[in-house]
Amino acid sequence: MPPSDSTAIGPSLDVPPGEARAPAQEKANATVAASDAEGCWLRVQEALRARIVPEQFETWFLQARLLVADGPEGAQDVSLAVLNSYTCDWISKYYGPAVESAVRSVLGKGCRVRITVDPEATVPPAHAAPEPAKTDRGAAPGAPIGAPNGQATGLAPGAGLLWNSDVVLNHKYTFENFVVGPCNRFAHAAAVGSGERPGMNYNPFFLHGRVGVGKTHLLQALCFSILERDPSARILYLSCETFVNHFISALQNGDLDEFRTKYRNVDVLVVDDIHILANKERTQEEFFHTFNTLYQAGKQLVLSSDSPPKDIPTLQERLVSRFKWGMVTEVEPPCYETRMAIVKRKSRDQGRELPDAVAQLIAEQIDQNVRELEGAVTRLLGFSSLTGKPLTLELAREALGDLLQVNQGTPTMDDIISAVTGKFGVKLSELQSKRRTKSITHPRQVAMFLARRITRHSLEEIGGFFGGRDHSTVIYAVDRVAKAVRSDPEVREQVESLLGRLGAPSDGPL
Ligand code: ADP
Ligand code: MG
């Protein structure tokens, strides 16, 4: 199926292809007031939920957003903005009629509907609520709001995060739904411990790991467990980006006092993806004071990051040391057995058992990211129920072709980095640093050489992976290693063994 940027359902629109990716500002001018579009989308979502099974709805539509162009009522041009061309094709192919009828039932029969790829317009995952919002975000500051589907977690209705949290808890992100294995056992136990005695056991609780390994899941499970014990706990849950944005607007509007009151009057402050503080000096300064105030008052701080405190670039030393005061723990990518358990669990949750061979195929091929693992199961089950075909290996290959290929034998940047850091005994942070000692520059240059040879990343992208170096530095590195391979047997051996370890073809001249 060729990827497409925009697919018309029903009568086609006369929209030039580039328009689907128009910047947000232009888009706002071309659409009805944001609040109206938001209201329409909520009603269309409701209509869609009535037509589609819940798991499929959550997989394909939670991050979408409806854009309604100006036009005579009942005959507007409507586009459903989605994240990528795969989603666009999938929705068009399998849910086109459902989308069309849902939109028309809300906006009128004359509407023309199109599905467009427009990542900027979509809703980031943390904001994509799994159930229609039942909360009142206009409630008085400090008043707790209801978490969606609170009953599912045993919480009293009305319990939940503080109103100014920027996410609603996902009712599936509980400890019960978290599959524990060697890779995450320690992090899981620490999260359970923090939830039992907030502010006492591990403070701060700092969780780090790659993307998609379950950090946000554990953070939210921790919030649920605190709220189950004490529904009146005042938990503020934020992505770090929100903290940064609030701080900047408080600075601009001279509202710093209000900002501080908001952030410093909580029992638990949870900040997801704290590594975003990198290179933001003033926000780091402010966060330092927020941290101190809460810590001294015995309040719990919970932080997640893509790397340990010392590896967050430019993070002030005093923050690094504070982040290490409590419990710092890593969530590692799941091992094969854990992946199998996750695959089985996710399919069972969706009401189907996967045959062992199919579960094995998925668990073997998707080995780094639980989100992808979960997505593969949902996609396969959806594919099977839509086509009526049984869950065989053949069907899995058909439904998951692109996911499996990506993971098949094509080493990624992460693979290269872990092979190089392992071989030379250096750290990723050193490869990304400005250090120019030979013990660091040589592995860095070898990593760039391998990236150029094996991956499809551009010179700029490769430079970006290694601490934001420009393309001429990458060209120089690639050139230097290529020459050394020819003139220095030791370097040749290093490169050949790395290529072997990465399973990359070593044929062709080096
Ligand atoms: P991160 O925040 O580390 O990027 P998430 O917490 O968003 O990752 O996890 C990605 C997806 O994978 C979520 O849907 C989460 O529920 C699921 N997930 C991750 N780890 C596990 C696990 N051990 N058991 C069950 N589901 C998991
Ligand atoms: Mg996360």
Q: What is the pLDDT of residues 201-255, one digit of tens each?
A: 899 999 999 989 999 999 999 999 998 888 888 999 988 988 998 899 899 889 8
| pLDDT for 161 | 62
| Domain end marker among 303, 330, 357 | 330
Report the pLDDT averaged over residues 259-263.
89
Q: What is the pLDDT of residue 498?
A: 87
| pTM for the structure as a whole | 0.58
Give the number of the ligand closest to the Cα of residue 218: 1
**C-beta 376 within 6 A of ligand 1:** no
Please tell me the least confidently modeled range out of 61-75, 220-234, 404-418, 459-473: 404-418
Domain presence at residue 139: no
CATH number at residue 455: 1.10.1750.10
Separation CA 277–CA 99 (nearest Å): 40
Give the CATH number for residue 387.
1.10.8.60
- What confidence category does residue 505 fall into, taking pLDDT thresholds of 50, 70 and 90? low
Task: Report the CATH number at residue 49.
Answer: 3.30.300.180
Residues 190 and 318 placed together within one structural domain of the fold: yes
Asked, for residue 323, whether it belongs to a domain, the answer is: yes
Span 319-359, pLDDT tens digits: 999 999 999 999 998 988 999 999 999 999 999 999 999 99
Kindly write down the DSSP assignment for every residue of 393-407, as one continuous string: HHHHHHHHHHHHHHH
Token pair for residue 365? 């091929």
- Average pLDDT over the chain, rounded to an integer: 81
Rounded Cα–Cα distance for residues 216 and 239 (Å) = 10
Residues 362 and 431 reside in one and the same domain: no
Question: Is 399 in the same domain as 428?
Answer: no
Is the CB of 374 within 6 Å of ligand 1?
yes
Residues 428 and 453 in one domain: yes
- Cα 136 to the center of its chain, rounded Å: 26
Residues 254 and 107 in one domain: no
Number of domains within the chain: 4
Instruction: State the pLDDT confidence band at 13, using cuts at 50, 70 and 90.
Output: very low
Q: Which of 330, 364, 396 is the last residue of a domain?
A: 330
- 94 phi-psi bin (left φ>0, alpha ψ -120 to 50, beta other): alpha
Domain for residue 452, yes or no? yes
Domain of residue 490 covers 413-502
pLDDT(85) > 80: no
Instruction: Give me the percent of the chain exceeding a pLDDT of 90.
Output: 44
Query: Is 111 among the domain residues?
Result: yes
Instruction: Scan for tokens 């669990």, then name that residue.
Output: 345
Q: How many CB atoms lie within 10 A of CB 305?
A: 25
DSSP conformational letter for 488: -
Nearest partner of 335 among 312, 367, 378, judged by Cα: 367
Please tell me whether residues 318 and 352 are part of one structural domain.
no
Tokens at 285, concatenated: 């300064």
3 state SS of 355: coil
Which own/partner contact pairs does 396-404 have at CB distance under 8 Å and 24+ positions apart? 396/358, 396/361, 396/362, 397/361, 400/362, 400/376, 402/86, 403/365, 403/366, 403/372, 403/375, 403/376, 403/379, 404/361, 404/365, 404/366
The reply to whether 196 and 106 lie within a common domain is: no
CA of 171 to the centre of ligand 1 (A): 13
Does 340 lie in the same domain as 321? no
Residue 274 CB less than 6 A away from ligand 1: no
Q: Whose CA is nearest to atom 13 of ligand 1?
A: 371
Assess if residue 134 is contained within a domain: no
Domain presence at residue 172: yes
> Residues 184-200: what's their mean pLDDT?
94
Q: Which ligand has the shortest distance to the CA of 128?
A: 1
Q: Are residues 176 and 322 in the same domain?
A: yes
The pair of structure tokens assigned to 190 is: 């620490």
